[in-house]
Structures are given as C-alpha cells and as structure tokens.
Structure 1
Amino acid sequence: MRIALIVPGGVDRSGRERVIPALLALIERLARRHSVFVVALEQEPAPSTYALLGAQVVNLGRGQSRLPGFGYWQRLRQTLAALDAYGGADVLHAFWLGAASTLALGVGRWRRLPVVASIGGGELVWLPEIGYGGAASWRHRQQVRLALHGAQVITGGSRYVLTPVLPTRPDARWIPLGVDAAFYRGDRAEAERQPGPPWRLLHAASINRVKDQSTLLHALRLVADHEKSVHLDWFGEDTLGGAMSSFARDLDLAAHVTFHGVQPADVLAPYFRQAHLYVQSSRHESQGVAVCEAAAAGAPTVGTAVGLVAELAPQAAWAAPVGDAAGLAAGILTLLRDPDQRARRGRAAQTWAQTFDADWTAAAFEAIYREVIG
C-alpha cells in the first residue's frame, strides 16, 4: 500500500528531538511493509524534505500568507504536488482532528482517496477555567465537524475520548497509539527497579495548565509528609515560565523534585524502568502515551480518571477524580506501602502495553487501510 500520513509535527529529522516516539514507532513499522509518505504541517519553519525510518517526510513549513483561508489552499497545493512527485497514495491518515484532518479531506476530495482521522488531544473539549480545548474556536469546531462527517474511519486512543464522538460516529474505532514495548522494558528492568525506599516517582509531560501539575505537587506534599524518602523525576517542556518549580519551592518540595526539562526518549527510558510509580494529574487526556510507556516498563500509573487511566484502573492503574490531590496521594501511598499490589498492577499494566504495542497498532491501522481502500 501507499500510505500518506498527515501530522502537525513530531517527526523531526533527528529522530530524537521534537518527536512523538509512539508516532515514530508506527511510521517505522508501516514503512517496513509499505510505501509511507509523511506530510508534516510545521515541523520546521521552512519547507523541506528528508527520509526518516524508511518513510519520506515532506515538511510544508509555516505559511506566510495573512489572508484568511489562503494558507489552507497553499498547503493543499503543496501536498498535492508532493504526492504526485512521490507516486501518489492509496489512503490518507490524519493525526489529529483540525488542520491535519481538514487538509487530508481536501486532498482526499481532489484525488478521490479514503481518509482515516485519529483524535489525539483536546479537539472535542473546552475547559474555560484554564482556556484549554479546541471546542472554544468556531473554526476548530467546524474542522472537527467536517472530520467526523467526512472521514471514512475515526479512531481514538481511549474509550474516554471516544465518548463524545459516538453519538455522531457510533462506528468510531478504539485504537491506542501503542509504544515500542521492548524499548521501554529493556533487558534489565527488574534489576533497575530497586525495592525502595527510597521511592522513585516519574512524571513525563509538558508543564501546562491541562496537566494540572499544581494538584500533582499538592499530592506529592501529602506523600512526602508520610514518606520522607520519596523523589519525583519530572521531564517535559516548561510552558509556564517556571511557575511549577517556584510552586514546588513554596511547598518545601525542592529536595523531593528534579526538573529535567525536555529529554529524548533514550534518556527518559531508564527512568521508566527505575520508577516505582508513574504519576499523572491531567484534567484531560485523549490517551496518555506516557502511561503506555510506563506500563511497558512495568510501572503502574496513579493518575486522574481521564484517558487510558480511566480504563486501566483498577487492575493496572489507580484512578482518582480530577483535581483530587488527596486521592492521588492515597493511591501513591497505598501502592508504595503494598509491594504485592504494586507489582500486581505493574504486571497487568505491562501485559496490556505488550498486547497493544506499536506492532498491534500498526496491524490495526493496516487492516483499516485495506478496508477503506477495498
């Protein structure tokens, strides 16, 4: 098959920086058996092309036009020309709903190609108290509506994110974006995770308002009051100008938290294998790929009941209500103090991650591609 993926970014030519590891794992697996062409909307400022993991990437770059709507037609022409130059496509797959899916539907209309669209973030929500979600924008709501009515197949990475979609698209498919389970499991996972204490917690997410990390720090304060030897390793881009590191100092948590900033997956992977628990406090998650990465390494998640955590709990995770710092702290303390329960949930999480890994995801999407092409 000739498969064209349309993505906002996450496919940097380095393969390490500014990437979405689960997306790269999917591209690599599809490219082993098919011709894969990736259109990146704004991976780099200027238009460019490069090879990545067996696929050809065409980066459209940031358009310069200030005329409303002209940027879309510019991208449409760029994509059509690039597809023609590389031999065309049999199917288009957009990640996520919005600019990528609208472009895919335009290309599909011009070339009479089927379109698959996957939900990947807050496209269908609006949280006014933090200004998060695509549903606040009339233009974005129309793009989502167009995708839900125009794509041959809609997919989502959790049953949680599919809930608002099903009234419009009862045929939407549950397909998590699986991870390379072997990469996160490693060869020495058991040796790297010590019995504890000291206790190692891990959080891998950009610092932003939808992740609600002030609640996470409140929970850590409650945990540290009972378990002095607890430490949180925190990875992710800071979009709040140091607000969380300042808040950690205000809560007297400086000795309990290390902010590592943005790091590539190969640097982060050993921390997944060392962590006793992965922790997450999000107000919304469409899936939570980091939860899958932790699960692949055998670390269960204590998190809020959004995304995958809502369906992995209670067998393979611990779920607390959104905004409930005390509930998160109770889950962390319970699993730290009960090694059998922690290990049982960790094994269940790892089994889930190995079952629905990147190979499973690639096979599931291949089946959909064949279905819509046929």
Structure 2
Amino acid sequence: MKIAIVLPGGVDRSGEERIIPAFVALIARLARRHSVHVFALHQEPLPASWSLVGATIHNIGAGRTVWRAIQAIRAEHHLGPFDVVQAIFSGHCGLIAVAAAKLLGRPSLVHIAGGELVALASIDYGGRRKWRGRLREALVLRAADVVTAASAPILAALSGLGIRAQRVPLGVDTADWETLAPRARGSGPIRFVHVASLNRVKDQPTLLRALAKLAKAGVDFELRIVGVDTLDGDIHHLARDLGLEQRIHFLGFRTQRELRPLMASADLLVMSSLHEAGPLALLEAAVAGVPSVGTAVGHFVEWAPDAALAVPVGDADALANAISQLTDDDGLRMRIAAEAQRRALAEDADHTAASFQALYANLV
C-alpha cells in the first residue's frame, strides 16, 4: 500500500530532537511494508522534504498551510496513487486528510491524539473552545471513514458526540526501550520522575503542591522533571516558594536516549495533567519497570487501580495521598509495576502498527 499520514510535526530530520517517539515508531513499522509519505504541517517554517526511518517527509511550512498540504497530497497521489490517507490529530490535520481523501476518492482515518475534543477555558486549551473548532470537528469526524483514539476516556468523549470510534493506543518502541523487571526500592530518598513539558495542561502546580505536603510530612524524596519550559520559569518560582528547590531538578529537554536511564532510575512516575489522550510517558515508565501515580485522564483511567493509581484532576491532597500509598508499601508498588508492564508490552508499537494496518486493509 501507499499511505499518506498527516501530522502537525514530531518528525524532525535529526530523528532525535523535536520528535514524538510514538509517531516515529509507527512510521518506521509501516515503512517496512508500505510506501509511506508523511505530510508534516509545521516541522520547519519553510517547505522541505527528507527521509526518516524509511518514509518520505514532506514539510509544508507556514502560510496557507491547509490548502498547500491538500495540494501536496494530490501532487504525490498523481505520481503514484495513495491507498489511504491517515491523520494523527484531528483539527487541521484531520481536515486536510479528510478533504484530500474525498478529492482523491480514497478512504480516510482520523486518530484523536490530543485536546481536540476538550474545552478548557481557564487555560485557553482545546479544540472545542470556539464554534469554528466545534463545527470543524463535527464535519471532519463524521466524514472520516474510521476514527480512532488511544484510550477509553477519549472513546467516551467521541461517543458523547455521536461518533463511533475504535481504540488504538500509541505504544512504546520496545526496540529502543529495554524491558526492565520492576525493582525494589533502595535506600536513600524516594526518586520521582515527571516527564512532560512545563505547560498549563500538565498542571505542574498541582504536582508541586502535592509534593510540598509530602515534604511537610517528613518524606525524603527528590524529583527530576524532564521537559521544555514553556512558562518562563513560573514552575521554578513556585518550587522555590514551596521550599522544594533543593528537592527538584529541572532537566529541560532530553532525547529518548538520555531519557531512558533517567526513567529506569526512578521509583515512581508522577503526573498531574488536566487532560491526556495517553500519556506515552506512563507506557514508557511501565516498560522500564516503573509504576505511576497520576490524575484520572487517559490511560490512568483505564489502568487504575491495578496498573496505576489515579486521583481526581487538580486534587493535590489526593495526589499526595496516592503517592504516599505507593512509597509506604513497596510490595504494592511492585505489583502495580508488574501489571503496568504487562499491559504496556501487550500494546507496544508493534501492536499499534498492526492495528492500523488491519484498519487500512479493511478499508482498501
């Protein structure tokens, strides 16, 4: 098959920085058997093309992006016809994929991978904040031949909109992430890790307030935060105001190669997001033998209570209590880690690629 995939980005020519690992893993696996052309909307500001993991990347660039992306798909189709057009993320990606597929007489798929279905007015986030976004999603998702999503909460949101969808989690590339057996906690401070950009959706203030409660209770811990700061130091300042500056290490961006040993050295992944379709960090931690505590979003909802602990969004007290539950009971922590790993390995990147290929074959 010849497959067109429309993405906002995450496919940098370096293969290390500015990538979304789950996307690259999926593309690499599809490219082993098919001709894959990826149309990245905003990877770089100017139009360009390059090869990555066996696929051809067509960067559209800024300026009339939707129209030029549709034209780029049509142009490549005339060189050799596509069998299917896939969008990962709805929004503009979904609109481009569905419109191009209709013009070419080909089937289309849209995968919900982020905040397309939410409206978080307090932080100005989500694809359904404004009427244009709601209208666009209604049209795109009803016009797509297949709609998929990574987790049960997203499927439930789609069902509430009258959209029938299939669950396809974006799994971990176990060729890159070594499977490590869950490990008993050693002596010294409890080691937490948080993997997420510093932004409003990830709600790091709730996480820091939960940790401040643990510090006040006498818990000895350290936290490593891996992610780009998009908030101009606000989270750093909050850590200092809460008296946590000696316990928290802000590591900034790390490549996947640099992230893996950091994850493997942790006792617990801690997350505090207001919304997630995944997150992939939960799955990566599970493969590395590390259990997770987080807010009730995405896979946390699916996995709790046997493979993760989940608490209400924005509840620092509940998050502190859940973290304490696992730090006080290492047997429970190990059992949760083992079940999380079983689930993550059952739905790894190979499973993701096989799921999408089955959908493509059925449509074609």
TM (normalized to structure 1)?
A: 0.94
User: 1:120 aligns to what?
Assistant: 113
Unaligned 5+ runs, structure 2: none
**Aligned-residue offset at 1:195:** 2.1
C-alpha distance 300-337 of structure 1, shift in aligned 2 (>3 A): same
Is residue 189–residue 274 contact of structure 1 (8 Å, CA) maintained in 2?
no
Is residue 192–residue 270 contact of structure 2 (8 Å, CA) maintained in 1?
yes
1:341 to 332, 340, 351: 332
2:307 to 316, 339, 344: 316
Within the alignment, does 1:101 sit opposite 2:101 as a pair? no
Across the two proteins, how many residue pairs are aligned to each other? 364
C-alpha distance 353-114 of structure 1, shift in aligned 2 (>3 A): same
Within the alignment, does 1:13 sit opposite 2:7 as a pair? no
User: 2:78 aligns to what?
Assistant: 84
User: 1:360 aligns to what?
Assistant: 351
> Residues of 1 paired with 2:238 and 2:342: CA distance?
36
SS at match of 2:351: helix
**Aligned-residue offset at 1:119:** 0.3
**Partner deviation per Cα, 1:15-71 (whole Å, 9 max, x = no partner):** 1000000111111111111111111011111111100001111111111x5xxxxx4
**Aligned-residue offset at 1:169:** 4.5
User: 1:306 aligns to what?
Assistant: 297
**Partner deviation per Cα, 1:167-197 (whole Å, 9 max, x = no partner):** 44553001110111353335x6667x75243
**Aligned-residue offset at 1:229:** 2.7
SS at match of 2:57: strand
SS at match of 1:181: coil
Is residue 11–residue 40 contact of structure 1 (8 Å, CA) maintained in 2?
yes
> Residues of 2 paired with 1:357 and 1:189: CA distance?
16
SS at match of 2:251: strand
**Aligned-residue offset at 1:263:** 1.2
Percent of aligned pairs sharing the same letter: 44
User: 1:143 aligns to what?
Assistant: 136
User: 1:242 aligns to what?
Assistant: 233
> Residues of 1 paired with 2:194 and 2:115: CA distance?
20
Is residue 168–residue 352 contact of structure 2 (8 Å, CA) maintained in 1?
yes
**Partner deviation per Cα, 1:133-155 (whole Å, 9 max, x = no partner):** 11112222222112211011101
> Residues of 1 paired with 2:264 and 2:36: CA distance?
32
SS at match of 1:37: strand
Letter in 1 for 2:78: D
Is residue 39–residue 69 contact of structure 2 (8 Å, CA) maintained in 1?
no
Is residue 182–residue 288 contact of structure 2 (8 Å, CA) maintained in 1?
no
Q: CA RMSD in A?
A: 1.6
**Aligned-residue offset at 1:75:** 2.6
**Partner deviation per Cα, 1:230-260 (whole Å, 9 max, x = no partner):** 1111011111110000000000101110111
Is residue 26–residue 349 contact of structure 2 (8 Å, CA) maintained in 1?
yes
User: 2:282 aligns to what?
Assistant: 291
Letter in 2 for 1:110: L
Letter in 1 for 2:46: A
User: 1:23 aligns to what?
Assistant: 23
Is residue 185–residue 330 contact of structure 2 (8 Å, CA) maintained in 1?
no
